[in-house]
Amino acid sequence: MIVLGAILSLASCTGEKTPVYLDDSKSIEERVEDALQRMTFDEKIAIIHAQSKFSSPGVPRLGIPEVWCSDGPHGIRMELLWDAWRAADWTNDYCTAFPALTCLAASWDREMSAIYGKALGEEARYRNKNVLLGPGLNIYRTPLNGRNFEYLGEDPYLAGKMSVPYIQEVQKVGVAACVKHYALNNQEYRRNDVDVKLSDRALYEIYLPAFKEAVQVGKAWSIMGSYNLYDGQHCCHNKRLLVDILRGEWGFDGAVVSDWGGVHSTEEALNNGLDLEYGTWTNGLTLSEMGLDAYDAYHMAVPLKNYIASGKGDAKLVDEKARNVLRLIFRTTMNRNRPYGSFATDEHAAVSRRIAENGIVLLKNENRVLPIKPESVNNILVVGENADYMMTVGGGSSELKVKKEVSPIEGLRALYGEEKIAYMKGYTQNEDEKLESIEALKCAAAEADAVIFVGGLNKKHFQDCESRDRKEFGLPYGQDAVIEALCEANPRTAVVIISGNAVATPWLDKAPAIVEGWYLGSEAGNALARVLSGEVNPSGKLPFTYYTKLEDCGAHNFGDICYPGLLVNGEYPHFKRLKTDTVRRINLEYKEDIFVGYRWVEKYNIKPAFAFGHGLSYTTFEYTPVSLSRSSMKEGGKIVASLRVKNTGDVAGSEVVQLYIGDDESSVVRPVKELKGFEKVHLEVGESAKVKFEISADDLKFFDEAKHDWVAEKGTFTVYIGASSADIRSTAKFELR
């Protein structure tokens, strides 16, 4: 490869001025255009498809470097072999694992999103990755989706706002955030085959807003298409999503990257907005009969070159793709001023722990079972396989090779002292392993000062894992019986669920304390122990609805056509051998429409186990009634909603104040209320703080399908201020005139 210095020296020797594309004083657009006009057609074709599993070529002749991508949203993935999905067995790629994005969403804290993005960007930069494949912004439509743990919850407003600081801080380090998976990738089951049908209202109100926020406010430099189809076209080359909406309506100027192996047509890839093709297998296809180098067989390689040579395609579209990829390179690797980054540092571990502590959710705490103060106990019984199980492995593309992972049992022993902690496995995923009886567990629990059960899901197939959905809503491995026995034996039992999804809780009334512990990353055990002991006061809030039963979720109320979808001939697709594209197509209709999560349960007065936005504290907070700056406003005006929140308990803590708005007299069916603001405030004992929200007409709009535009109708609106979607502390009304 010709290095940059050599090119500069050559220009100097010949008396030629430094090329514009190498001149940092020029704008990126000037540099991109200069480089583009110097490139041959073959060089343009080369930079728009992969050369290895995770890289695509630059332009060696011009000293323009390669693009190197890395999974994932929670940490920088281990190095893989050039052509195979196997570890390269490096010894210097042990990373920091950050909490799963569901945990970040549960913090409801923009500061946590910012420090997450900064630290993750620094790790990517140190490893010389210039595209980070994250964050994931798909909506939590069903708790069976195996990849929900990689996303930011069920509400588009929350997901969008929490993504922006992450994206901005990653990119400040000179690494492109690649927002994924655009769009409608809301299940893993048959993700390559499902053809999603939904109303434009659902598309624009629920499934697109977080992506729009990431593009227009976060200014994301790249975006990844999803595996599924939308309206008959694969999303990696879907004209409506990529050309009409992403570029046309939102003004996106970054690079569109395919998901690995998500490209199916040279013609559609050329015409429908894809810029950079990556593949799953060595060639992404099965085209050995072409006699080509593996990566030359990609849809956007030799097949594209031949397609244009035949007169069927427009070469100007190749220029546009090359331009977008060049812009990506000039924003990242060709930026000489970007910092060097850092990797697997103590500082990053501290960031990971802080995010984890802010995201852990205290769901229930009767009789103040929690916190368990170290000085108040002599012996604690810890039960559950997840207490001593690595959660950074598995899960698909987000699997990490970590420098360290502190397990819950390690964290508890370190905080309470080994002599105070007894451990019994209680359940196991290994069917051949023999355990102690339920009676033995009950006897041990009865003798303990406190019991901590650590269970939930893991990242194996059919739990929280890429490419597979969960088979059931309930907990696996017979955990329910273990939980019930422990709660019966000891009234000081705390149940900790490790998961990225809601789970069935048939023991809800019997368990005095319940904690949602997520996948917490490298410092998981330390963060969890600090919350359980009271060193940290929990402040997380649920980013999705915790249903009592699966049927309480809107996606599971209309039969198989709504989830998991039906074959084109109307048959259920499970275990079917699919041989042709026609048979492979699975129809999936979002019949619940805009009523996802709390919107659904409020529409039908369903009581969930735990509501969206719910989360308790070891202290208490008092809200004053909300007041509005005015009783009416016109289009273009604003109303300020304000209140005070006071810590009325006996320990310092943080509260997430949530603003929802409902339309009292709409001409179309609308949710009872929708999230339109949130603020997290930290308060010392007895301290109070003023919380303010600005409300504009944009917060009142719905998507009018007939007008293809956002509309705010005149009339009365209600402001709801709450500690969750179900815990509304005060309301106020105003008029839009």
The pLDDT score that the predictor gives to residue 293 is: 73
Residue at token pair 């304390």: 513
What whole-number distance in Å separates Cα of residue 719 and Cα of residue 663? 9
> Is 289's pLDDT higher than 80?
no
Q: Tell whether the model's pLDDT for residue 639 goes beyond 50.
A: yes
CA end-to-end distance (rounded Å), the chain: 65
Q: For the purposes of burial, counting CB atoms within 10 Å of the CB of 375, is it exposed (0-12), middle (13-18) or buried (19 or more)? A: exposed
Alpha-carbon distance of 124 to 348, in angstroms, equals 12
How large is the average pLDDT for residues 229-237? 97
**Tokens 């000081």 label which residue?**
492
Q: What integer pLDDT is reported at residue 7 of this predicted model? A: 54
Helix axes 346-359, 110-126, angle to 10 degrees: 150
Where does residue 344 fall: left (phi above 0), alpha (psi -120 to 50 degrees), or beta otherwise? left
pLDDT value at residue 14: 45
Q: Does 509 score more than 60 pLDDT?
A: yes
- Beta strand extents in 626-705 (DSSP E only): 627-628, 632-633, 638-647, 653-663, 674-683, 688-696, 702-704
Record the tokens describing residue 541, joined without a space.
């809030």
Contact 45/272 with Cβ under 8 angstroms? no
Q: What pLDDT was estimated at residue 18?
A: 84
Which residue's entry shows tokens 């041959």? 40
Q: Please, which pLDDT band fits residue 568 given cuts at 50, 70 and 90?
A: confident
Closest by CA position to 71, among listed 153, 147, 156, 161: 147
Listed residue (112, 132, 533) closest to 350, CA to CA:
112
Percent of the chain surpassing pLDDT 70: 95
Does residue 8 surpass a pLDDT of 80? no
DSSP 244: I
Quick check: 270 pLDDT over 50? Answer: yes
Q: Is the pLDDT of residue 12 over 50?
A: no
What CA–CA distance (Å, rounded) separates 391 from 653? 28
Contact 228, 190 (CB under 8 A): no
pLDDT, tens digit, for every residue of 85-104? Answer: 889 999 999 999 999 999 99
Q: What is the mean pLDDT of residues 458-469?
A: 94
pLDDT tens digits, residue range 585-616? 899 999 999 999 999 999 999 999 999 999 99
For residue 2, is pLDDT > 70?
no
For residue 292, CA distances in Å to 55, 295, 537, 599 come to: 19, 8, 60, 52
Tens-place pLDDT, residues 49-74: 999 999 999 999 999 999 999 998 99
pLDDT at 346 over 70: yes
pLDDT of residue 576: 54
Residue of higher predicted confidence among 5 and 226 = 226
Structure tokens at 449: 């000062």
Degrees, nearest 5: CA angle 414-418-421: 105
CA distance 344 to 304: 41
Whole-angstrom distance, CA of residue 301 vs CA of residue 672: 51
Question: Which one is catalytic: 93, 259, 480, 552?
Answer: 259
How many helices (H) and strands (E) would you count in the chain? 18, 28
- % helix, strand, coil for the chain, step of 5: 30, 20, 50
The pLDDT value recorded for residue 282 is 61
> What tokens were used for 455?
């269970």
Residues 6+ apart with CB under 8 A from 171: 121, 177, 219, 220, 221, 331
- In this prediction, residue 1 carries a pLDDT of 40
Pull the structure tokens for residue 453: 């059960």
- With b meaning 16 or more CB within 10 Å and e meaning fewer, what string describes 663-678? beeeeeebbbbbbbbb
Looking at residue 429, its amino acid is: Q
Name the pLDDT band for 10 (thresholds 50, 70, 90).
very low
Examine the pLDDT at 709 and tell me if it is beyond 70: yes
Amino acid in the structure at residue 605: N
| 3 state DSSP class of 535 | coil
259 is catalytic: yes
What local confidence, expressed as pLDDT, does residue 13 receive?
46
Residue pair 588/469 in contact (Cβ under 8 Å)? The answer is no
In angstroms, the CA 209 to CA 725 distance is: 20
Whose CA is closest to 494, among 515, 464, 480, 467? 515
Q: How many CB atoms lie within 10 A of CB 316?
A: 8
pLDDT of residue 666: 96
Two tokens, residue 124: 């990517």
SS3 track for 316-353 = HHHHHHHHHHHHHHHHCCCCCCCCCCCCCCHHHHHHHH
Note the pLDDT of residue 506: 98
- Residue 583 is predicted with a pLDDT of 55
Cis peptide before 512 (omega within 30 of 0): no
Q: Is the link from the previous residue into 183 a cis peptide, with omega within 30 of 0?
A: yes
- Phi and psi angles of residue 447, each rounded to the nearest 5 degrees, phi first: -90, -10
The label of the residue with tokens 């890289």 reads: 55
Q: Which amino acid is at 112?
A: M
Q: Using 50, 70 and 90 to split pLDDT, how confident is the model at 290?
A: low
What is the gyration radius of the CA atoms in the chain, in angstroms? 26
Q: Are 402 and 471 in contact (CB under 8 A)?
A: no
Residue 650, pLDDT score = 97
Domains identified in the chain and CATH numbers = 359-533 (3.40.50.1700), 550-603 (no CATH), 621-736 (2.60.40.10)
Mean pLDDT on 132-159: 98
**pLDDT at 580 exceeding the cut of 90:** no
